[in-house]
Amino acid sequence: MQELHFQHKNLTTAEVYSSRLHHLHRVKLFSPAICRITQGSKIIIQDGNRLVATPDELIIIPANTELEIVNQPAQGVFRSDLLLLCAELLTAFKAQYIQDFPQARHTSLCAPMSSGLSFMWQNLLSAVRHDLPAQLQEHQAMGLLLALHHDGLAGPLLIERRFNLAEQVRQIIMLSPAKPWTAQDIARHLSLGTSTLRRRLQQESLSYRQIIEEVRMSYALGQLQTTALPIGEIASRSGYLSSSRFTARFRQHYGCLPKNVR
């Protein structure tokens, strides 16, 4: 298994693994992502719509989209490959190619896997996992995006991402989820006064503490799904000194215990 880290890279891959069925609430990725199941199936619920994704499809997940997810093993195992894309890569793709093709017409998160998409997907995963030079990785990513868009399947990835203040705070915390962040730390990174930070986040119906927990929970879920680290170690890496507190917060956030994710 590959370990998933939040990094400010154009492309990051991970393999998600579980030996049991689990149902997760309020799952959110902070980067646009593409996922392919290699064993088992995944139920995705969004705004009352229910999709069942299988290995015959690519799952396209826009950034900051809250989903309810059920990972269902087959023969006792669930596996999927996850690719995180940076927003800048999608911006470059849109600037270069969107005007040359009809607008994407596909709005479902599940895109049927053709032989061409399968070929481009495998090439891209191989390029990232073998840590090829960044330009070669980006070239393969552009090829996959181009194949998706040519078939009208890239719709969910082409949603404009709004870089509001909450998103800027999120990006800062993602650099070090375990750091004991204070409002003063975050405000200093953004060249804002602390009171201004609090007031502007309140206007977006959020607090910096809510964003910190959101990032830490997402990071912890990634670690649970893609590494064999002990839960206590993951709690520590996610900024929780107490494993019991981490377990309680995880259950409150996702609706299941950390141990049930594996």
97-129 pLDDT tens trace:
886 655 555 567 898 998 989 999 999 999 999
What dotted CATH number matches 165-261?
A: 1.10.10.60
Enumerate the CATH 1.10.10.60 domain ranges in the chain, comma separated: 165-261
Enumerate the CATH 2.60.120.810 domain ranges in the chain, comma separated: 11-158
Q: How far is CA 22 from the centre of its chain?
A: 18
Mean pLDDT of 171-177: 90
Question: How close are the terminal C-alpha atoms of the chain, in Å?
Answer: 13
More confident residue, 136 or 8: 136
d(CA 12, CA 120): 16
- DSSP assigned state of 232: H
CATH topology of domain 11-158: Jelly Rolls (2.60.120)
> b/e for 48-60, b at 16 or more Cβ within 10 A?
eeeeebebebbbb
When pLDDT is cut at 50, 70 and 90, the band that residue 224 belongs to is very high
Q: Read off the pLDDT of residues 39-77 as tens digits, 9 standing for 90 and up.
A: 999 999 988 889 999 999 999 998 888 999 999 999 999
When pLDDT is cut at 50, 70 and 90, the band that residue 193 belongs to is very high
- Residues paired with residue 83 on neighbouring β-strands, in sequence order: 13, 34
